[in-house]
Amino acid sequence: MTTRSKSAPKPAKKSVKKSATSAAAHGAPIELHSWPTPNGQKVHIALEELGLAYNVHAVNIGKGDQFAKDFLSISPNNKIPAILDPNGPDGKPYAVFESGAILVYLASKTGQLLGNTDSERFTILQWVMFQMGGVGPMLGQNHHFRIYAPEKIQYAIDRYTNEARRLYGVIDTRLAKSAFLGGEHYSIADIAVYPWLVPHERQGIDLNDFPHLKAWYDGIAARAAVQRGMAVLASERKPIENDDKAREAMFGATQYQRR
């Protein structure tokens, strides 16, 4: 059982049905501070896949919750997601920020989704880094210039749409040779990449152009834990295209203040 909160840092909580695995195996529930963006969703999915109990605290990035002092204490870069594990290394509370680091931490904590050999583990980590260094930043820029930028700059739209197609092609080529990104077994590499591809239509991408990727994508989307993870906080997120206050919090001068 986990609880979900409406806002950060000290929100009211409500119970929601989650993983059947009890907290006893890994101590008290993990405190998850997040929002339903691709970076948040990949951690939501990982928690569900790993069967870890967790409490959800919504960090509404359109309202500026990411700049709250309490959140900055666990996420100094004012980005979601972040977690606080009450039963961290040496049995002490431990905070982790950066979504890729959280995936590695959770997989290491449970001994799951990170391969069984050094070779498997390093292959998986390479594809996690591919997402962190390529897929996330480039598709993020794609979203910005295609959807959120106050003026349409064709050069930027073309650049990041073309880069998105290139990255989809890299994934498609990989999946022509391997069942999953990290090898023959599902891993945190697949979890890291999948949420970024969900809004493919808004990125100017047709999945039918990438048949190996599409088959993999459809298989990931059908997983029950993925569906549960994608549903976390989904009802809380609203469109921001015409919300000047949210656009300022996410893209304006507020973002660049030193804290």
Q: How many domains does the chain have?
A: 2
| Claim to verify: residue 105 and residue 130 sit in the same structural domain | no
**Beta-sheet strands, E only, within the chain:** 2-5, 13-16, 30-34, 54-58, 82-85, 94-97
Range of the domain at 57: 2-112+228-256
Looking up residue 17, the CATH number of its domain turns out to be: 3.40.30.10
State the pLDDT at residue 116.
Answer: 95
State the pLDDT at residue 124.
Answer: 98
Which pair of tokens denotes residue 160?
């990041």
Looking up residue 217, the CATH number of its domain turns out to be: 1.20.1050.10
* pTM of this structure: 0.89
Distance, in Å, from the CA atom of 15 to the CA atom of 210, rounded to the nearest integer, reads: 40
State the pLDDT at residue 143.
Answer: 94
| Claim to verify: residue 232 and residue 108 sit in the same structural domain | yes
Successive 10-residue mean pLDDT values, the chain, 259 residues:
44 36 65 98 98 97 93 97 97 97 98 97 98 98 93 97 98 98 98 98 98 98 98 89 74 81
| Claim to verify: residue 126 and residue 184 sit in the same structural domain | yes
Answer yes or no: are the C-beta atoms of 228 and 52 closer than 8 Å: no
State the pLDDT at residue 1.
Answer: 38
| Claim to verify: residue 122 and residue 58 sit in the same structural domain | no
Question: What count of Cα atoms within 13 Å lies in the side-chain half-sphere of residue 93?
Answer: 8
State the pLDDT at residue 140.
Answer: 96
